[in-house]
Copies of this chain bind each other. A is one copy, B any other.
Amino acid sequence: MNTVYATSANVAERRLAPPSLAISTVIFALRPSESSGRPTLWLPLVRRIREPFKDMWALPGGPLQHDESLQDAASRNLRETTGLAPQYLEQLYAFGGLHRSPAQRVVSIVYWALVQPTEAALADESENVRWFRADRLAELAFDHNAIVDYALWRLRNKMAYGSIAYHLLGEFFTLAQVREVYEAVLDRQLDPANFRRQIKGTPEIEETGEYLQGGKHRPPRLYRFTGTPGLGPDNRSTP
């Protein structure tokens, strides 16, 4: 979305040129809310340093290079802008409306990623890269608000079926932490006892002998996720 096929063509020539192709990524991570301290969804945005939409916040992205696959391009600009390696990365949608960008036509293939909080804490932040709460975004450049909305919708949807919540957690976690992820993403309270029964029913989750120490109350058992990310035609598996 940031860079387009460099050319000195004038406007008339641009109309005939093929649309330029860009890759962008919506990156989700959990961070404790400033107010409640409970985990909430955050995402990193970059400040645009040129027109169009100069000085507005936008999704990280860039052009597709000729020697990288779509997914590689997404990984790369994720790494370049935030320094992060995603735990989960999947194609979201190809956006190709006629007027997404003034002056020239841009088709954006957008990916979405989940990163673990330990990673997310290390993420680069600077004048031009900052994390925002996913549910409290200002007006973004291009059609990026709509893209984020769609990414959130997909995340909630996947969460309801697939086993995706674990990619927002570290290697070991308690069942209460899993529940907090669900509560943060679905934005509603869940009954702890029933939730635990359900989660324990899934085979992709494994008890460890360890317990989380240092809490204020009875130490909860730690679990580990043994499933695979899997999805999409590139690496297929779930709904």
Cross-chain contact B15 with A233 (CB below 8 angstroms): no
Give bound CA distance, A98 to B97, whole Å: 25
The reply to whether the CB of A157 lies closer than 8 angstroms to some CB of chain B is yes
Nearest CB of chain B from residue A146's CB, rounded to whole Å = 6
The reply to whether the CB of A91 lies closer than 8 angstroms to some CB of chain B is yes
Contacts of A64 in B (CB 8 A): 18-19, 96, 107
A21-B19, A239-B161 known; A66 and B233 CB under 8 Å? no
Give bound CA distance, A18 to B15, whole Å: 16
The reply to whether the CB of A132 lies closer than 8 angstroms to some CB of chain B is no
Which residue of B5, B16, B109, B147 contacts A94 across the interface (Cβ within 8 Å)? B109
Nearest CB of chain B from residue A179's CB, rounded to whole Å = 22
Cross-chain contact B233 with A150 (CB below 8 angstroms): yes
For residues 153 through 188 of chain A, which have their beta carbon under 8 Å from a beta carbon of chain B?
A: 153, 157, 160-161
Cross-chain contact B239 with A157 (CB below 8 angstroms): yes
Interface flags, A211-237, vs B, CB<8A=1, else 0: 000000000000000000000110010
Cross-chain contact B96 with A69 (CB below 8 angstroms): yes
Cross-chain contact A70 with B91 (CB below 8 angstroms): no
Cross-chain contact B233 with A107 (CB below 8 angstroms): no
Cross-chain contact A233 with B95 (CB below 8 angstroms): yes
Give the residue name and chain of the B residue nearest to A143 (CB). B233
Contacts of A5 in B (CB 8 A): 18
Contacts of A20 in B (CB 8 A): 18
Nearest CB of chain B from residue A64's CB, rounded to whole Å = 6
Nearest CB of chain B from residue A216's CB, rounded to whole Å = 39
Interface flags, A44-70, vs B, CB<8A=1, else 0: 000000000000000000011011111
Interface residues of A, Cβ cutoff 8 Å to B: 5, 15-21, 63-64, 66-70, 91, 93-98, 105, 107, 109, 146-147, 149-150, 153, 157, 160-161, 232-233, 236, 239
The 6 closest A-B pairs by CB, nearest first: A70-B96, A150-B233, A94-B94, A94-B109, A157-B239, A5-B18
